[in-house]
Amino acid sequence: MSLDGALSIATGGLANVNRQLALVSQNVANANTPGYSAQIATQYSMTADGMSLGVHSGKAIRNLDMVLQAEVFSQNATVGGLQTRQTALQAIDAVMGTPGQGSDIASLLGQLQDQFSTLLTNPDSPPQQSAVVSAAMTLAESINRLSDAYTTQRQAAQDNIVSEVASLNTTLSTIGSLSDKIVNLKSGGQSTADLENQRDAAIADLSQLLDIKVLAQPNGDVLLATTAGLALPTHGPSSRLSTADVNVQPGTFYPGGGIPGISIDGIDVTRQLRGGRIGANIALRDITLPTDQAELDEFAQNLASRFDDQGLTLFSDPTGAVPLGTPPPVQNGYVGFAGAIQVFSGVQTTPSQVRDGTHSVVGSPVGPGAFVPNPPGGPTGFTAMIERVLHFTLGSEAQAGVPQPTSHTSGLGQTGTLAAPYAAPPTLAGIAATMLAAQAQDSTTVSTQADTEQAVQTTLAGKLSAQSGVNMDTEMSHMILLQNAYTANARIIAAVQAIWAQLMQTVQ
């Protein structure tokens, strides 16, 4: 090998070492950058006619496990969705109260029953009559607050969807812009590692909004799709997801009930957006919270109608009416009734009606028995109405031997597509307790799942960081090897220089 060849090889070696030292420096500097994948320099030996010509430095590439990264993205969506549901349901819990602790609907119904029991022993007591009315008002107000909480959380879910769709569009645009740059650089044979890291960070943000699949393309671009197979637009300004603000009420619903969908180029794609925060908010708005509302509406309607059926209009809507269903669907006529239920104004004005009754009842072999109210000036010890309330309104039978009508648990909501996850007991107390227990259990289950899945997310992220992230020990070891290589190449150059100097002296 000639001295020129040795010098060229050593000089190329120094250049390669400098490039790799720069990558080590960059990796160390980004050791704590979220989502950063360590970069390594490619290199290969050059030869000609079997003779070595040194080393050639290729473009930097990332040390990345794509399969593990895909698992992290999927887990991001799972955790994002559960945390969104957890936040909404915990807000409901705060209003609903702890079952059996005195402030929940089941406990307040029990307190109303206690007041009627006390009134039975002293029916001519105006203070006790007023105490019954007060207990009924407390129960109605608690039902109102819980109904309002459902509506508030549905509105929050809708507002979140609007803002998250805007974030989704921004992130998709960022991904598309980075992909354009990557494609251009890759076509010129240049390194795209830095841009790919930036794009992966954007995709990680996107994965919290939706459960997505990432399909890498040979030219460096990526295709993004939801788990339902919907391709998400990343290029071009026109095709973007869109939705609209709306004021959510108990009777509004999607689709076709006043709540807009999410569309791309005018095509509704709402049902194809699953997982993540967007998917969770859609489920909260359209299924979870409307079902909870429907269960509460059903309880409120049962409460009002069972009192009314026995001859005491204790609960009504603001007009004084007790709403009845006119199926289909079964709740048509009282969707949202829980938000409007109140103590009947006549009873508020004349509390003695809780003893006397408000209207006559024509007996029925399949419903309540006949009843005639205590007339004005009638006996102050009249107890027939109170006994009907305690034995039948709050019991499992409409009259002796006739069961109460079954509370609906399917075909619920404005569209009749919702269903409660339980079988309704025959008594009002049983319905209230079962409903609250089911909703509390739903919240508990979501919180438990959120904690479990977050632990899995942390584990997967740790594995990805260990495999693809910056390992300081590895980088320091690599730097020592590069320092040794630099020294060796520098010595070769020094030796060649010394030989050339000696040759020049010999010639002179």
| 136 and 278 housed in the same domain | yes
- Tell me: do 314 and 433 sit in the same domain: yes
- For residue 463, being part of any structural domain is answered with no
Residue 303 falls within a domain, yes or no?
yes
Residues 35, 109: one domain?
A: no
Q: Is residue 128 part of a domain?
A: yes
Which of these, 187, 79, 139, 179, lies nearest to 452 by C-alpha position? 79
86/59 same-domain check: no
303 lies in the same domain as 160: yes
106 and 251 together in one domain: yes
Mean pLDDT on 29-49: 60
Strand-strand pairing, 241-242 and 263-264: antiparallel
Verify that 237 and 108 share a domain, yes or no: yes
Model pLDDT for residues 335-366, shown as the tens digit of each residue = 999 999 999 999 999 999 999 999 999 999 99
Bridge partners (DSSP) listed for residue 267 = 264
Place of tokens 């650089």: 185
366 shares its domain with 301: yes
Whether residue 309 sits in one domain with residue 223:
yes
**Confidence at residue 479, expressed as pLDDT on a 0 to 100 scale:** 62
d(CA 346, CA 319): 11
Considering the domain architecture, whether residues 281 and 397 belong to the same structural domain is answered as yes
Residues belonging to the chain: 508
Whole-structure pTM value: 0.85
The string of pLDDT tens digits covering residues 394-450 is: 999 999 999 999 999 999 999 999 999 999 999 999 999 999 999 999 999 999 999
Residues 102, 13 within the same domain: no
The answer to whether residue 394 sits within a structural domain is: yes
Whose tokens are 């049962």? That residue is 302
Look at residue 466 and tell me if it is in a domain.
Answer: no
Query: Do the strands 267-268 and 342-343 form a parallel or antiparallel pair, or are they unpaired?
Result: unpaired
Q: Over 90: is that where the pLDDT of 137 sits? A: yes
Structural domain includes residue 465: no
Q: What is the pLDDT of residues 239-289, one digit of tens each?
A: 689 999 999 999 999 999 999 999 998 899 999 999 999 999 999 999 999
Q: Which domain holds residue 142?
A: 70-455
Q: Which residues of 156-186 are buried (b: 16+ CB within 10 A; e: fewer)?
A: bbbebbbebbeebbebbbbbbbbbeebeebb
Domain membership flag for residue 218: yes
Total structural domains within the chain: 2
> Could you tell me if 155 and 248 are in contact, meaning their C-beta atoms sit under 8 angstroms apart?
yes
| 96 lies in the same domain as 239 | yes
- If we measure between CA atoms, which residue out of 3, 5, 2, 16 comes closest to residue 486? 16
- Has residue 460 been placed in a domain? no
Q: Percentage of the chain surpassing pLDDT 70?
A: 81
Q: What is the pLDDT of residue 368?
A: 97
pLDDT of residue 193: 86
Question: What gap in Å lies between CA 117 and CA 309, rounded to an integer?
Answer: 19
Per the structure block, which two tokens stand in for 58?
A: 């290729």
pLDDT at 265: 87
